[in-house]
Structures are given as structure tokens and as C-alpha cells.
A and B are shown apart, each in its own frame.
Chain A
């Protein structure tokens, strides 16, 4: 073909009109313009109408003083702080529940999912019963159950249960004394031994678990830094050990070395710095315990309910994943002489994960969003303190709900992204 013939002929206007490619572009352009116009119209109209009804608008309120208290905060907070800070406090509380819930529900879900496939009849039926009961009851009901019926039934502050060496020994002595005779001398002996220990430091009541608060003196920060270093070093070492195993086939005692790095190293640092850590003892003064740290019952009830509920779904996801791995794989592993546990860990689970991870992401997203139900039991999450108290006091519903929705969307997208990345990493590499 000559170059002249390859050149496109001069097209008539009619041909351009009927060119499918140009048409497609034109249609898409029109749609974009329409959507853009509609969005502009909505925003403009909402603004004009809010102004006409004299409802306050804008994000200036974030710098105003909030003036209300929040009873659980991961960062310092007081009533004179701003709504912006309330937002951060609520967000951190939401993330706290989500992260703890995701970790615990994954562990519990895997255990139960594997247990459902156990060849042991009792274990399998127990796991099945768990799944069928827990996943079929409404979550809000379960949260209220844990909060009001279980944690609410704990003794009041004045009758707190003390946990520690001294009260345990005293309890033991009382039991021994019941036998009478020679046991009385033994009880006396135990009782005097219990006096060696200090007063109890752990308390449980219907307002939570109270534990001593660590106070770092000079040099305490160095110990924390050493701990962080130990953790990082352990992770690096694990990667190195795996590469060495792949390259040379020689194994390395990873577990023992990790313990030495994460626990041993900081302990050494502690000793070297002359134990720069003290503890404040919780003490019942007036209405509540003073000193120490308290784990609120709202947090515990919410985490327990979310974990057990989500775990029942994860268990089914895990079971489906394992069943999706062909039976020949475990038979082949058995033929090679691998024990059942090893075969599960090295052959079945890695292949099952491909099936498990995508629906697992859904469960993680659900858990995060379900955490808003904590408002019913007074857990101060983002939904409760920001989209609740702050919204009501400022009255700026549109702004606050928009921010809150954006945050949940963002958390969900990040979770999704991480899971997609993990999924890509564990995919079968076909060679």
C-alpha cells in the first residue's frame, strides 16, 4: 500500500457525526457535565437554603470550646478543649475498638473455624453450636447482654473483688481452715505468709478493672526505646531466618531469639538503669478508686460482643476456605509423613487463605462499622461524642455527619487497601 492510500480520507461532517469513538467521548462529556452541574446545584442550594433558614454553617466550630467531658481518652483531654480535639478523641476510641476487635476476632474465628472441621465429634459440635447461636442473635442485644447482664452484675465499687497474692492466700487459708484439726495450723501458716505481700493492686467491680499505673522516672524512656528496638530487631531477624532457611535449608531458633530480643533485652536495660519504673497503687477513696488505670466496662463489653459476634462469621469463612482446598492436598501431605497440625499449617492454610481473605475483609469492615453501636452502652466513640454530643450542642448536622461519614469511609477504604495488598502477597505464584 502506498503512503497516500494509508492516509485517512477527508471525512464529511456526517461521517464525524456517526463515528462511534467520537460519539462515545461526546456522551461521556455530557454525562460529566450533567453530574457536575447537579452536584454544584445541590451544594449551592443547600447553602442558600441553610442561610435562608438561618442555620449556622461552616467548619469554624471545630475551634470552639466543647465544654463537655469524655470518660475515656487516649490523649489528654479536658472540658476546655475544642471540638476538633473531641473529634480526635472519638476517632482514637473508635480505632482502638476496631483494632482490638479485628485482632481478637481473627484469632477466635480461626480457632472455631478449624474446630468445626475437627474429627473430634464433641469439639466440632461445640464449635457448630457456638456459630449458630452467636451469629443468629442481634448484635445490639449481645452488646447490652454483656454490658448490663454480665459486667453490670459484678459487685459495686465498695465490694470490689481484689486480685493479688495476698487476697488469694487469705482465701486459701480460709478454705484450709474449714478442715479443722491439724489444718488449722497450716491455715495459720498460710495466713502469716500472706502478710509478707503488700496490699492487692488489682480490683474488679462493675465500673471496670483497675490496675496499677506505671510511672516512668528518669531513664524510663530509654527502656521503652530498647523495647521498641527489640521488637523491630525481632521482625528483621525473622525475615533473615526465613531467607537463610530458603537458601541453605538450615533452621534458626526464631522463637527463642525473639523472646530474648523482646523481653530479655528490655529487662537488661531495666536492670542497667536501676529499675526506673514505679507503680501507683489504686486506692478506694470516696466514690471511686484513685490512682491506677481503669479499663472501662463499656470498652470491655463492646470488644467482647464485637469479637464473639464477628468471630462466628469468620469461623464460617475459614471453614469454607479450608474446604475449598482439594482433599488430595492433605492426603498428599499425610503420604509424605507430615503430621496433621503441620500439614494444616504448611499445606492447607496457605492455599485456603486465597479463598478466606476477600470475605474476611468484609467482616473487618463490618466490625468497624458495628462499633458505632457502642453509643447504646455509653462507649465514647466517634459516633457518640462527635456525631452525638458535638452535633447536638453545635447543631451543625450537615458538617458533622459529613465529616463522620468521610472518616468511616476512609477507615474502610484503608482496611480494604491493606487487605488487597495482603491478598496479592499470598496469591499463588504460578510458575
Chain B
């Protein structure tokens, strides 16, 4: 039903005049950032028993709130289904969508959206019961596969099985929770989604160790935040907030040592923490924007380890998401 509500919203927004082109000003005036997140995906965006949200996607919104308000808690989280997320952004219900969303060409063009940066390099994979003794996705001919509807997953699945000349049955559900429950009852042999989600949703199964994630990665899933087209300043704020966390990790700035960093004589660090230049002000923020972000949220590496890394419940290896200096592909343009 949320879908219908958001569509009504979008029609109203479209009717009563264009959505504000000055998102940064609107957000500052409002005093709180509206951030679209998932309905509960451990490691990326999920609320705890006190209703406090955490996760890698949530950290991006917290970093933005820290940069804008100097208070990472000034975020209103709007939980969205995969089907409702884009209309919520288009209609202006949220300022930024940070909901493990794959960046694709058609979404970039048809939906009137822009993707500022990739905050998690992911790929689609399969999870099956260990009792099936399946070692490869290529052995899944004739299987029933459960998934969540309204994602890139469905089309990737169709492509993979067609390319390998295999048959399958697709059973798709409105939410990831419903899909994983049906898989748990044995309705399906396999469950497919982005690999990071497989690890997260596996935690919701009745017996975690009865299920295994297969080695095949069948697609590229660059997960990215999204903003509306036509507001370049806001696009830049989201983009550089994320880049700031990458640059901070590269420079070795963490939430613990950020206070000493203001005394640093290293010109690169000086530009980052704002003791030299006025880069934050060029974005419409303050000079110490990076200090605020790193102090309250941490750099990208800290956020990764805390939410999804080997130290967390998900236990995902850093892999492609390592910095470019450490053999990964996370890379940010310089702040200068």
C-alpha cells in the first residue's frame, strides 16, 4: 500500500510545482535529514530494540548529518520496500536514498536520479541448504529459487539461467523477510540476492549453519546512495561526504586520533581537517566538516568493520571494498 501512497505523493509533488532544487537549504531549515533506508537489513540499515538505526548505509546519513548539523543523530530514517524506494525519493519524501541500491544505467536515466558514489561493491550470489550437497550455482538446474521482488536480482537470475541453459522456478515476495521465511520453510531450494544481503539474511534463518553461500558471483552490484537529478550542490554534498570517509581512512584519520590531527603539519591532512583552505565552505558546509564526520561516525574502514566486517556478526571479508592502496577498488578523488 505504501507504493500507492508514494505514487499519490509523487502526483501531488509534480502537480503543486517542482520539488525544491535547493535540497541543502531545505534540509538546513528543517533541521533534520530525511534518509530512506531498508526495512531492516542487518549490517546495512536496521534498527535495534530501542529503535536506534545502525549499518553501513545508515552511517552515510549519519555522516551527512554530522557534516551539516554537527550532530549525527539529526536523521529521520524512512524505512522503504525495494518497490517504494525510488518514488519516495522522486516525490521529495526523502532527501537521500541510502538503501543498498544497485547503480544501473536505466535507473540513472529513466528514474530522474543520480548516484553520487559507490559505498559497497557487491555481486549477486546464491544460498542453498548444505544438505543439498550443491557446490556450484551451475548445479541448480530445475531448482526453485526465492527472492525479493522489485530488484535487479530477478533479471540477473533470468540472464544467468538462460545463458547456462538451465531451468528454474522463481518465487518472489514483496519483502526480503517474507522471501527468507518461505525459503526457510523449504518452499525453495535456493535463495538469491546480493551476497552481502545473503550473509545478513542468513542470520534470520532458524539454523544458520545449515545454509551455505555458493562461490559464484553472477553480476556486478555497485551499491550506491541516490539523489534527485537537478540539484548539483546536494549531489556534491552526498558525494564528498562519502569521499571524505575514504580519504580519512587513506590518511589514517580515525575517530580516536582525529583531535590530534588538527595539529598535523602534513598539508594533505591540513586540507582534510580544514586548518588549510576552505573546502567545506565551497560545498556549502563548514571548514571542519571532515573532523565532524570522522569524530562522530568514523572513517570508511571503521564503519565497514563495525557493521559488516569480520569483527561484526555478518563477518564479510573486506574484499573489493579495500582501499585502492590495499588492493581493493575503493578510491576517492583528492580534497584540494
Interface centre among B6, B144, B173 (most CB of A within 10 A): B173
Check A207 for interface membership: any CB of B closer than 8 A: yes
Check B15 for interface membership: any CB of A closer than 8 A: yes
0 or 1 for each of A41-73: is its CB under 8 Å from B? (1 = yes): 110011001101111100000000001111100
Is B185 a contact partner of A393 (Cβ separation < 8 A)?
no
How many of chain A's residues touch chain B, expressed as a range? 35 or more
Given the contacts A53-B90, A156-B186, A68 and B154 also touching, CB distance less than 8 Å: yes
Cβ-closest chain B residue relative to A50: B14
Given the contacts A67-B158, A388-B149, A392-B149, A290 and B142 also touching, CB distance less than 8 Å: yes
Check A298 for interface membership: any CB of B closer than 8 A: yes
In the complex the two chains form, what is the Cα distance from A69 to B146 in whole Å?
12
Check B111 for interface membership: any CB of A closer than 8 A: yes
Is B7 a contact partner of A398 (Cβ separation < 8 A)?
yes
In the complex, the number of residue pairs spanning A and B with C-beta atoms less than 8 Å apart equals 158
Check B270 for interface membership: any CB of A closer than 8 A: no
Check B322 for interface membership: any CB of A closer than 8 A: no
In the complex the two chains form, what is the Cα distance from A70 to B149 in whole Å?
11
Check B83 for interface membership: any CB of A closer than 8 A: yes
Given the contacts A45-B15, A70-B170, A287-B189, A389 and B7 also touching, CB distance less than 8 Å: no
Residues of A close to B17: CB separation below 8 A: 45, 49
Q: Which of the segments A242-250, A314-322, A376-384 contacts the partner chain?
A: A376-384
Residues of B close to A398: CB separation below 8 A: 7, 10-11
Contact pick for B174, options A50, A52, A384, A401, CB 8 Å: A384
Is B111 a contact partner of A55 (Cβ separation < 8 A)?
yes
Is A378 a contact partner of B172 (Cβ separation < 8 A)?
yes
Residues of B close to A276: CB separation below 8 A: none
Residues of B close to A265: CB separation below 8 A: none
* B residues 297-320 in Cβ contact with A at 8 Å: none
* A residues 343-396 in Cβ contact with B at 8 Å: 375-378, 380, 384-385, 387-389, 391-396
Given the contacts A207-B144, A286-B142, A393-B155, A378 and B182 also touching, CB distance less than 8 Å: yes
Is B149 a contact partner of A401 (Cβ separation < 8 A)?
no
In the complex the two chains form, what is the Cα distance from A401 to B83 in whole Å?
12
Contact pick for A71, options B90, B159, B171, B189, CB 8 Å: B171
0 or 1 for each of B13-44: is its CB under 8 Å from A? (1 = yes): 11101110000000000000000000000000
Check B222 for interface membership: any CB of A closer than 8 A: no
Is A42 a contact partner of B173 (Cβ separation < 8 A)?
no
Residues of A close to B146: CB separation below 8 A: 378
Contact pick for A288, options B18, B142, B174, B178, CB 8 Å: B142
B13 to chain A, nearest CB (A): 8
Residues of B close to A101: CB separation below 8 A: none
Given the contacts A384-B172, A395-B86, A56 and B7 also touching, CB distance less than 8 Å: no
Given the contacts A79-B162, A391-B150, A397-B10, A69 and B228 also touching, CB distance less than 8 Å: no
Check B110 for interface membership: any CB of A closer than 8 A: yes
Check A206 for interface membership: any CB of B closer than 8 A: yes
Residues of A close to B228: CB separation below 8 A: 53
Check A300 for interface membership: any CB of B closer than 8 A: no
Residues of B close to A56: CB separation below 8 A: 109-111
In the complex the two chains form, what is the Cα distance from A98 to B175 in whole Å?
24
Is B171 a contact partner of A397 (Cβ separation < 8 A)?
no
Is B186 a contact partner of A376 (Cβ separation < 8 A)?
no
In the complex the two chains form, what is the Cα distance from A285 to B179 in whole Å?
25
In the complex the two chains form, what is the Cα distance from A298 to B143 in whole Å?
17
Residues of B close to A152: CB separation below 8 A: 182, 185-187
A147 to chain B, nearest CB (A): 8
Check B278 for interface membership: any CB of A closer than 8 A: no
Is B10 a contact partner of A380 (Cβ separation < 8 A)?
no
Is B150 a contact partner of A397 (Cβ separation < 8 A)?
no
Interface centre among B15, B19, B146, B168 (most CB of A within 10 A): B15
Chain A residues within 8 Å of B, Cβ to Cβ: 41-42, 45-46, 49-50, 52-56, 67-71, 79, 147-148, 152-153, 156-157, 206-207, 285-288, 290, 297-298, 375-378, 380, 384-385, 387-389, 391-398, 401
Q: Which 6 A-B pairs have the closest CB atoms?
A: A152-B185, A392-B150, A55-B112, A68-B154, A56-B110, A69-B170
12 more CB-based (< 8 A) A-B contacts, given A375-B149, A376-B173? A49-B17, A71-B169, A153-B185, A206-B185, A375-B173, A376-B178, A378-B182, A389-B154, A391-B3, A393-B155, A396-B110, A398-B10
In the complex, 10 of the A-B residue pairs with CB atoms within 8 angstroms, ordered by the A residue number, are A41-B15, A50-B112, A53-B112, A54-B230, A55-B110, A55-B112, A287-B142, A388-B150, A389-B150, A392-B150
